[in-house]
Amino acid sequence: MSRDWRNPVWNANFCSGQGGFVGEEVKESNVKPEYVWFDGTSYVYNIGETITPEPNGVYAMAKAHGAPFDGRSMIVPIKRHTTIMPLHESGKIIPPAIMWMFMTGDFDLAVEKGMEEQGMTGSYDIVNADAEMLITHGVEPKEQAPSCSECHSGTGSTPDGSRMLPFTALGYHEVPDQVRSCTLCHEQKSMDWEQMHSYHRGKNISCSSCHTSDPTGLVSARNSLCSSCHGSESWSNSSGHRKHISKNIQCVRCHTFS
């Protein structure tokens, strides 16, 4: 879960059995994952880049790209790995010459050697850093995956902390009244929650079509918005919605959200 290079720990199995000093590690089992929006692409820090801290003051070495309601991102579970890193006065991360750490247990020496390799001079500070890692190994069999009700309730308004998915932190908590009444895209229908959910997912309707805030407007004037995709058409509001949903057109193509 974390590694602190300032606290050297001898590991006799390291370096192909020759042994070496590694940073103190904290390991845990059966850890509840964090959840983030992920559009399939990531940011990873590259040597030589100037970096700024996240709002919480931590420097991100790797993080998922993604945003709620963008029509591309999905919610994925991650493990957040935390560590410390040397930050040069120029705002660049110093890549430590880690073999010096393995051989001597002296992290400051490894940082100094890393500065020499990069042609850096001056001072540095030790800062907190983290990396968002996809959970792709060391997981339980799929038969032991959480059930739907372990992650969220069927109402779409599950209070954060009561289930696995923190809806408010992920950007959507309130479901529009028309979604609750099942009248946003069609006339009102009745179906139990699990059947309803499976039916809509089977129709390839995106999560953000229902799990969203109320639309606040259109992305452009109505006449230019419609003509940007096709010629002049005339529908009632309800039939227009149904036609666009059936073609799997994402809400954000037409609507803005707060």
pLDDT digits (tens, 9 = 90+) for 152-182: 776 656 777 778 888 778 876 667 778 878 8
pLDDT digits (tens, 9 = 90+) for 143-160: 877 787 788 776 656 777
How far apart CA 106 and CA 86 sit, in angstroms, is 13
73: pLDDT strictly greater than 60: yes
Distances (CA, A) of 239 to 183, 201, 248: 12, 20, 14
The pLDDT assigned to 250 comes to 75
Which regions of the chain does DSSP assign to beta strands (E)? 2-11, 20-26, 34-38, 42-44, 59-64, 74-88, 124-134, 215-218, 255-257
CB-based contacts of 177, cutoff 8 Å, min separation 6: none
Is 79 within 8 Å of 139 (Cβ atoms)?
no
pLDDT digits (tens, 9 = 90+) for 2-51: 999 999 999 998 888 899 999 999 999 878 889 999 999 999 999 999 99
